[in-house]
Amino acid sequence: MKIEAPISYRELDHTADVAIEIDGAGEEEVYARAALALGQMLAGGGPMTQQVERTLEPAGHDRVSQLVGLCRDVLAAFYDERLILCAIDVRLGPPFAATGWFTRWDPARHQEGVDVKAVTYGGARFEPEGDGWRARLIFDI
Amino acid sequence: MKLRQLDEQRWEIAREGGMRVPGIVYASRAMMQDLRDEPALTQVANVAHLPGIVRASLAMPDIHWGYGFPIGGVAAVDEEEGVVSPGGVGYDINCGVRLMTTKLAVDDVRPRLRKVAEQLQRDIPAGVGASHAIGTLDADETRRVLQNGAAWAVERGFGTAADLERTEEGGRLAWAEPRLVSDTAVRRGGDQVGTLGSGNHFIEVDRVEEIFDAERAAAFGLFAGQLCLLIHSGSRGLGYQVCDDNLMAMDAAMARYGIAVPDRQLACAPVGSPEGRRYLGAMAAAANFAWANRQTMMGLAQRALMRVLAISDDELGAALLWDVCHNIAKRERHTVDGGERSLLVHRKGATRAFGPGAAELPAAYRALGQPVMIPGDMGRASYVLCGTARAMRETFGSSCHGAGRVLSRKAALRQAKGRRIDVELRAQGVEVLSRATKTLAEEMPEAYKDVSQVVDVMHDAGVTLKVARLRPVAVVKG
pLDDT over threshold 70, residue B277: yes
Interface test with B, best of A11, A116, A120 (most B CBs within 10 A): A120
Q: What is the residue type of A134?
A: R
C-alpha–C-alpha distance, residues B217 and B464, integer Å: 14
Q: What's the mean per-residue pLDDT of chain A? A: 93
- The residues of A whose Cβ lies within 8 A of any Cβ of B are 11, 13-18, 59, 61, 64-65, 68-69, 72, 76, 79-80, 82, 111-113, 115, 117-118, 120-124, 138, 140-141
Nearest residue of chain B to residue A15 (CA atoms):
B408
Q: pLDDT tens digit string along B394-426?
A: 999 999 999 988 888 888 989 999 999 999 999
What is the 3 state secondary structure string of chain B?
CCEEECCCCEEEECCCCCCCCCEEEECCHHHHHHHCCCHHHHHHHHHCCCCCECCCEEEEEEEEEEECEEEEEEEEEECCCCEECHHHCCCCCCCEEEEEEEEEEHHHHHHHHHHHHHHHHHHCCECCCCCCCCCCCCHHHHHHHHHHCHHHHHHCCCCCHHHHHCEHHHHCCCCCCHHHCCHHHHHHHCCCCCCCECCCCEEEEEEEEEECCHHHHHHHCCCCCEEEEEEEECCHHHHHHHHHHHHHHHHHHHHHHCCCCCCHHHCCEECCCHHHHHHHHHHHHHHHHHHHHHHHHHHHHHHHHHHHHCCCHHHHCCEEEEEEECEEEEEEEEEECCEEEEEEEEEECCEECCCCCCCCCCHHHHCCCCEEEECCCCCCCEEEEEECHHHHHHCCCEECCCCCECCCHHHHHHHHCCCCHHHHHHHCCCEEECCCHHHHHHCCHHHECCHHHHHHHHHHCCCEEEEEEEEEEEEEEC
> Considering the entire predicted model, what is its pTM?
0.94
- Out of A65, A82, A118, whose CB is closest to B91? A118
Please tell me which residue, B166 or A12, carries the higher pLDDT value. B166
**Record: contact B67-A123, CB cut-off 8 A:** yes
**Catalytic residue positions of B, numbered:** 401
Confidence (pLDDT) at A64: 95
Instruction: Please provide the distance, in angstroms rounded to a whole number, between the alpha carbons at the two ends of chain A.
Output: 30
- Out of B38, B67, B128, whose CB is closest to A138? B67
C-alpha–C-alpha distance, residues B69 and B45, integer Å: 9
**CA B415, chain centre distance (Å):** 27
pLDDT over threshold 80, residue A125: yes
- Out of B251, B263, B405, whose CB is closest to A123? B263
Q: pLDDT tens digit string along B25-34?
A: 999 999 999 9
Please tell me which residue, A107 or B428, carries the higher pLDDT value. B428
Confidence (pLDDT) at B48: 98
pLDDT category at B128 given cuts 50, 70, 90 is: low
Helices B139-148 + B274-309 axis angle, to 10 = 90
Confidence (pLDDT) at B23: 98
What are the extents of the domains in chain B? 3-477
The class that CATH gives domain B3-477 is alpha beta
Confidence (pLDDT) at B435: 78
Looking at residue A108, what DSSP letter applies? T
Q: pLDDT tens digit string along B64-108?
A: 988 889 999 999 999 999 999 999 999 999 999 999 999 999 999
Q: pLDDT tens digit string along B310-343?
A: 999 999 999 999 999 999 999 999 999 999 999 9
Bond prior to A94 in cis (omega within 30° of 0) = yes
Report how many helices (DSSP H) and strands (DSSP E) chain A contains, helices first.
2, 8
Nearest residue of chain B to residue A68 (CA atoms):
B248
Nearest residue of chain A to residue B200 (CA atoms):
A141
Find residue A138's DSSP bridge partners.
A19, A120
- Mean pLDDT of the A88-114 span: 92
**CA B315, chain centre distance (Å):** 30
Q: pLDDT tens digit string along B193-248?
A: 999 988 789 999 999 999 999 999 999 999 999 999 999 999 999 999 999 999 88
How many CB pairs below 8 Å do chains A and B form together?
A: 93
- Mean pLDDT of the A110-114 span: 82
Q: Under a CB-based contact definition with an 8 Å cutoff, are residues B455 and B465 in contact?
A: no
Bond prior to A47 in cis (omega within 30° of 0) = no
Please tell me which residue, B127 or B382, carries the higher pLDDT value. B382
Q: pLDDT tens digit string along B431-467?
A: 999 877 788 898 999 999 999 999 999 999 999 999 9
Q: pLDDT tens digit string along B248-272?
A: 889 889 999 999 999 988 999 999 9
Q: What's the mean per-residue pLDDT of chain B? A: 95
**Record: contact A61-B263, CB cut-off 8 A:** no
Percent of chain A whose predicted confidence (pLDDT) is above 70: 100
Confidence (pLDDT) at B129: 65
Find residue B351's DSSP bridge partners.
B399
Q: Under a CB-based contact definition with an 8 Å cutoff, are residues B70 and B64 in contact?
A: yes
Nearest residue of chain B to residue A66 (CA atoms):
B248
Residues of A within 8 A of B68 (CB-CB) are: 120-122
